[in-house]
Structures are given as C-alpha cells and as structure tokens.
Copies of this chain bind each other. A is one copy, B any other.
Amino acid sequence: MSNYEYLSNTQLNEALRLYLTFLAERGLTHRTEQIETAESFGRVSARAVYARVSSPHYAACAMDGIALTASRTYGATETTPVFLPESTFLRVDTGDPLPQGCDAVVMIEDCVEGNGGITLFTAAAPWQHVRQIGEDLSAGDMILPSYYAIEPAMIGAMLAGGVSALEAVARPRAGIIPTGDEIVPSCGTPKPGEIPEFNSAVFSAMLRQWGAEPVVYPIVPDDSVKIQEALRRAVEQCDLVLLCAGTSAGRDDGTAAAIRALGEVCVHGVAIRPGKPAVLGAVGAKPVIGVPGYPVSGIIVLEELVRPVVDRLLMREREAGESVCVRMGRKMTSSLKYREFVRASLGYNEDGELSAVPLGAGAGVITSFTKADCLLDVPQNCEGYEAGERAVARMLKPVDRVARTVRILGSHDPLIDEAADELRRQDIRAYVSSSHVGSMGALLALARGESQLGGIHLLDETDGSYNVSYVERYLPNGGVALVECVKRTQGLMVAAGNPLGIAKITDLAKQSLRYANRQKGAGTRVLLDYLLKQSGVSPRDFVGYEREEQTHTAVAAQVAAGSADCGMGILSAARMYGLDFIPLWEESYDLLVSLAAMETPQVRAFLRVLSGDGFLRRLDALGGYSYDKPGRVKKLWPRRD
C-alpha cells in the first residue's frame, strides 16, 4: 500500500513522449526480415522497393487483329480504302508480342478480308492498340517507399515489377506474463478464491490486430524471484514484454520492482482512469510495460500506452480512429486528476443528434466493454459534463450501426436477449443494445429519451392491475405505447431440495435465512414489498433485504452458490441454476415503447419477432411464461405537448 504514495500522476501525452524518448535513447529499433511478396499483405516495407522488370516487359498487342506499320495505312478513309496484301501484316492475338518492324495493331472488326489481303477504311495511328513496355511500371521505378503498410494492389504492383520478395519490418513479438497468486488458467471450473485469467487472451487479440505476435507465458505467482526469472526469459525471447498484475490493488508495485531489478522504470503512474497504475519501463532497449490487472484498465493501458510502442516497432504511424461529437444524454462527473475514458452507449436524440449515456460499471466488468459503442474521452481538467453538453467520443463500433440498433433499458428478463438473438438470426444488420435498469428505470429512461423501449412489470397495489397506472403517473406527456409481452410466474428461488423448507412469503422471517434482493425500482422488488406488506412481514425480519442484485440470474447465482438462501425471481432463472421454485404470483411483463421509436424499422422488426414461432418456442423452452398475443399494442398514449 505504502508504495502507492510514490506513484506519479503523469499526464498521458507527456508520459508517452517521455517513454518514447527514453526508449529511443536506449536504442529501441525494429527488426527487419525478408518475406514473400505474395504473403506481404498488411506488412510494412522496411526499405524502398524498386521494379526489377518493366510491366509490360515487351511491346504487347492489346487487341486481336493484325499488326502492321501504321504508315502503310495513311490516307485510308471510307471513300479511299487501303488494300494490304497478306505479306504486309501479321495476324496477332491480344497479349502477343508486337512483331519486329510493326508499330500498330488494327482490331479484327475493322479488317475487311478478301482478295488475298485485307482492306482498311480507317488509317491506323502509330502505336495504337499496343501496350508499350513499361506502360504500368519501368524497371528501376520506385514502387513503394520505406515504411508503407502493404495493401492488396501494392502486391500486384510489386509482382508486376518482378519483385517476388521484399524486406519488411518484422512483426514484433510481444510477451505477455500474467502474474498473481489468485490467477488460474481460464479452462475448467474455477474454485472459490481462484480468478480465471483471461486478460492474456484479450491482449493477444489486440496485439494481433495491431500486427504484433503475442507470446503468452505461464502464470507466475506473486513471488519477486519468479517474476524476475519470467521477465528475464521473456525479454530474451521477445521485442516487448507486458507484465500483467493480478487484480489486486497495489500488485503493480511488484511489477515496478521486477522491472527495476532487471532494468529501469521511466514512468510509474499515468493520469488516466482507468489505468492509472501503469508502469513504463525497459530492460536494455526492450520495452517492458506493467499492465494493471482489472480487465478494463488493462484494455485502456494497451490502447493508450502499448499500441504506440507496437506502432514504433512496426514503423507504422497511428491512424486517427473515428471520433464523433456527441451530446451527453445525462450528467456525468469526472475527476480533475485524470484523463478519463468512459465507456458509453450511443443513440439518437429527438434532434437527430448522437446522444451518449455512460455505462456505469467498474474496471473489473469486462462486459461493459462489449456493450459500449464508444469511449468518452474526458480531458484531465474537465469536471464532467452536464446533460445536453457536447463531448468527444471515440467510436468502438461503426457509427452507422447506431441507427440499426434497438435500444432497450428496462426490467431484466432473459426473453429480451432471446428476442434479440432471434432478430439477428433474421437480419444480421439488426442490433439490440439492452441494459437492466429495472421497471422504474425503464420509465425514466424513456422519459429522458435514452431508450426506445423497456420491459416493465409494475403492480398497482390499489387494484392489482399492472403497468397502466404507472405509465399514466410517470409519463404524463404520453408519446408511448404499452405492448403486450408475456405473463410470467414470480416466486421464491431456493437451493435444490429446499433445505430450509420454505413454502410461503412469511417463511422469510425464519431465523438465519439470508435473502438476496433486487435493486430499488425493480418490479420484482415492488412485488416483494407488496407481498411482505400483505403478509405482515417487515424487511427487518430477515437478513439481506438491502443486498441488491441487478438481474434474476444474478439472484439465482447467489442462491446456487450458497451465498444466499432465497431470492425472488422468475421460473426461468431458477431453472437455469437447477433451483427449487415456490411460485407466488403471476404478473404481466410488458414492453413500454416510445411512439417515435415504433416508427423506426428496427423497433418494428423487434416487435414483430415477439409473435414469431421461433421466439415463442424459445419462451416455452425457458419455462414459466404464458402468452396470448405478444407484440400487440395494449394501450397507446398519444403525445401531449
């Protein structure tokens, strides 16, 4: 912990500048190698490439016809044709060498045969229909300068120029050393306390994408001697080395120490979040970078700090990624101490502008990266943004995909993912982005224009009705429709065999029972509150009311793992985890859809999926659902402004 005080907070661009200078001073350089031209796609030329032969390398006939001396045809017109006896020309095919003494080709279509020769009605120009030597390339011409990324057409130009091999910049070998006592290879079923190591696979894919060759070393425990041994070996075998810390805070201190033991540290601590504890060092002239263990931090450090080193080793410039200007869909605060990279999803607001909503998730949550459309790049001295303010986003997905994405924020049910998959199987251009924010969250997100639709299941305690009264209360301006989805069974999920013998809601008050609840605003929590009140049980009568999970499956996972004894959820979640299920209530899970969104092709396609056989079969397989006419509009509230 104490070492943390020595961490610097070097500004990102400054850290990079310092580091690249530091590496250059130590003699960092790229390797080169001879490669086959035909296999050179995506590689980088290490020196200028010159044509060895001309292309074409001989004067070639460019048409099927006759070759002759153009001057023999001079004066030929419709009224004054020229007759050529057979001895004055040669018949040629396209690609044939132009015969000695000839300087033009006449297309066969323009030749009238007869009388032991050919009659022409047009004069031929010298060199017509002849591909001259070197029309494309002359021997000695430079085809490519140094350090060009080789594209397909360049391969053609080199082969046309007789260059069958070239000197290319070698792909840098990037060693990846995962470290940490708690880290285990990500295969098989991990035991408690073991964290499956997957960063090396993520980093390998990124490095490969950038043109490097990843080399993944075995996991090294937190032991300074072993880490140094592993580092020494990797530095010998590779062009750069990533020393990856475990997920523990402070572990990167071990990384810095190991690099210092064998070499030097240039920067330890960069003013970015996530990614601050990065270590930039070298052993000899070989770059060694300490990468923090949380996966999101690691991805940011690779993108911002490792990629420029790979580019340098490949002698390749960094092309600017696609950046777009967006409006903030909601307020966001940011630290003045760091340049922050915030994962966000994108949609279009009512003015047709791109609108960004930050995905609030920790650096350990890898799925936040798979869901993000862009990274908001928040400058170091920026306190954050108000809703509606402009910000700069770096695209992670193609921006034109945003318009083809159905944006769902609402109550969790696995059927949303199943419908999304069904939609994609019908149309690979369709995307669904969904996050679980609960039923009340669905209402708020729709009101703020952050989503196009969301699942809700909100019980009105006064009359036992579902959803309608909430929409009227929370969305008084209308502009939405309630679309029928399913009825589903809510109940208590307990361990297989029901060891605590739970049969009804009042059993929650049994002593020693540990409950796992859902987050505030979740329809399932609203239902629990209602059932508790009805049966006279107080939240204080059992442990765990304040323990919040975001999804049905997350609650089921707690129960299955023995970390909770009971939780409320839907039958399909209980089934996935092999849990016993005590049914308590049947509820209406509907979709609330903005009327504007209902006009878009992607939302219409999504709603159409709900009544399709494929989706209904999936519902039956999940279990616990009944349905009448999914996709039907139950009630519509026109917009009132």
Q: Which residues of A contact B (CB under 8 A)?
A: 1, 37-38, 41-42, 47-48, 53-60, 63-64, 93-98, 103, 108-109, 126-127, 131-148, 151-157, 159-160, 162, 164, 180-182, 186-187, 189-190, 192-193, 195-196, 198-199, 201-206, 208-209, 246-250, 295, 299, 315-317, 319-320, 362, 364-367, 369-370, 396, 398, 400-401, 414, 417-418, 420-421, 424-425, 428-429, 432, 543-544, 546-549, 551, 553-554, 556-558, 560-561, 563, 573, 576-577
A145 touches B421 (CB 8 A): yes
B201 touches A189 (CB 8 A): no
A97 touches B193 (CB 8 A): yes
Distance A502 CA – B430 CA, assembled complex (angstroms): 73
The residue that A420 contacts in the complex, of B57, B103, B145, B543, with Cβ under 8 A, is: B145
B247 touches A195 (CB 8 A): no
The residue that A127 contacts in the complex, of B126, B248, B249, B547, with Cβ under 8 A, is: B547
Distance A428 CA – B249 CA, assembled complex (angstroms): 38
Of A98, A160, A180, A203, chain B has the most CB atoms within 10 Å of the CB of A160
The residue that A198 contacts in the complex, of B160, B193, B370, B549, with Cβ under 8 A, is: B160
The residue that A319 contacts in the complex, of B140, B401, B425, B548, with Cβ under 8 A, is: B401
Q: Give chain B nearest CB distance to A126 CB in angstroms.
A: 5
B94 touches A247 (CB 8 A): yes
Of A146, A154, A190, A557, chain B has the most CB atoms within 10 Å of the CB of A557
Distance A193 CA – B148 CA, assembled complex (angstroms): 32
- Which residues of B sit under 8 angstroms from A148, Cβ to Cβ? 424
Q: Give chain B nearest CB distance to A534 CB in angstroms.
A: 26
B547 touches A367 (CB 8 A): no
A133 touches B557 (CB 8 A): yes
A145 touches B432 (CB 8 A): yes
Of A134, A137, A156, A247, chain B has the most CB atoms within 10 Å of the CB of A156
B153 touches A202 (CB 8 A): yes
Distance A151 CA – B366 CA, assembled complex (angstroms): 12
A136 touches B364 (CB 8 A): yes
The residue that A133 contacts in the complex, of B41, B48, B64, B561, with Cβ under 8 A, is: B561
In the complex, the chain B residue whose C-beta lies closest to that of A543 is B103
Q: Give chain B nearest CB distance to A542 CB in angstroms.
A: 13
- Which residues of B sit under 8 angstroms from A421, Cβ to Cβ? 47-48, 142, 145-146
The residue that A364 contacts in the complex, of B135, B145, B315, B420, with Cβ under 8 A, is: B135
- Which residues of B sit under 8 angstroms from A60, Cβ to Cβ? 193, 195
